[in-house]
Amino acid sequence: MIIPQTPKGFRDFLPSTSLKRKLVLAKIVSVFERFGFDPLETPAIEFAETLKGKYGEDEKLIFEFTDRGDRQVALRYDQTVPLSRVVAQYPELPKPFKRYQTQNVWRAENPQKGRFREFLQVDFDVVGSSSTLVDSEIAQIISAVLKELGFKKFRILLNSRPLLNDLMKSSGVDENLVTGAITSIDKLKKIGIDGVIQEMVGRGIPTEVAKKVIESFQNAKPNQEVQSVLDTLKDSGEDMSSFVFEPTLARGLAYYTGIIYEAEVEGFSAGSVCGGGRYDKLIGQFSGTDYPANGASFGFDRVLEAMEEQGLLPEVKTTTKVLVTIFSKDLVQNSLKVAQELKAQGINTEVYLDTDAKLEKQLKYADAKGIPFAIILGPEEAEKAVVNLKNLSTKEQTQVPISEVITKLT
């Protein structure tokens, strides 16, 4: 006998959970489209060489394997690298190219709270413009999405990779150790100052230099890049209390070249819910020509966790509005005709498909599934051309013409 289970780090989503995810995703997508972004989909599998060399230390998390044609391929690790491949492969795309992408990615993580081996990533990017307006719009969209989802208190942290590099250089970090030192700084909230210093020392950075790095970050001021974004946001009428310069924000991925972002929801301790930044050199690895690019990604599972903690997730079990019951085999045709009329009017309608089931069993099924209404059509109702409409929450039942049912359910 096969044990019914999923591999570690992979999940099933039953209907009630799947419906919540669908509703939340639809809200996020509505914001993307409000700002002029269009959808893009890419394959689950890319050539391994497409993905490798883009993620720094995180490259070890790529699911890589040899296919039956003896080709080295890998599951999609994120959606930024595939986007870069698309832009290089289809140079005729209008620039700036504004796209959003909502697909699963795979990472060989050690599964834990908030971390899975397969999860939905929600990205939006602008390719082809180095304007500060793009940098500020990415931050605006992050804010707009969080508001759309109902969050009242959140912070969007901003920093600059060039500023990080300058701080490392002025602190005396060897040029060959800068990337590793930035990766360590990115863990400051998780492991604290002592932990970061210890990790940098382990990377070959002298203790005194590591301490100087911490001090320089604590005293840092926004550079022109960050200040320009903050000024543009202010000029756009944004509530500036949500946007914060954070000099220790690093973002672990190696391909960032400019402004970087992370979003935190107040009261949610599992980490940031969105992150991203400018990556002007990544696409050039595929095309030989650099394209300015900027974007961000929402961690969909973390967004859902934060919404659940704050009571923002909708309660929904099913999209079905009404169950049309089968009173008897003689009246099947009548029930099917009523169901067809309801569907024609755009009402999500289910017909109970067992003609031998007792009415009590059918109503229990509707109640268990969360269907709010049931229609009962017996011989008396068929003769009068009416139906009994039952509210399964209040148990109230009224006899009405079919046209009135449509009015009540729309």
Q: How many whole angstroms from its chain centre is CA 137?
A: 18
**Preceding amide of 96 cis, omega within 30:** yes
374 strand-pairing partners: 323, 390
- 256 has binding-site annotation: yes
Q: How many whole angstroms from its chain centre is CA 38?
A: 16
DSSP notation for 291-309? --EEEEEEEHHHHHHHHHH
User: CA–CA separation, 289 vs 255, rounded Å?
Assistant: 15
Both tokens of 241, joined, read 């209390």
Residue 113: strand, helix, or coil = coil
- 362 has binding-site annotation: no
- 255 has binding-site annotation: yes
Both tokens of 126, joined, read 């602008």
**Residues listed for the chain:** 410
- 302 has binding-site annotation: no
Backbone phi and psi for residue 98, each to the nearest 5 degrees, phi listed first: -110, 115
- 12 has binding-site annotation: no
User: CA–CA separation, 199 vs 183, rounded Å?
Assistant: 10
Q: Give the contacts of 136 (CB within 8 A, at least 6 positions apart).
A: 229, 232, 233, 236
User: CA–CA separation, 22 vs 5, rounded Å?
Assistant: 24
- 55 has binding-site annotation: no
**Preceding amide of 91 cis, omega within 30:** no
- 261 has binding-site annotation: no
User: CA–CA separation, 279 vs 276, rounded Å?
Assistant: 9
Both tokens of 211, joined, read 């301490």
User: CA–CA separation, 26 vs 40, rounded Å?
Assistant: 15
Binding-site positions read 78-80, 107, 121, 125, 251, 255-256
Binding-site positions for L-histidine read 78-80, 107, 121, 125, 251, 255-256
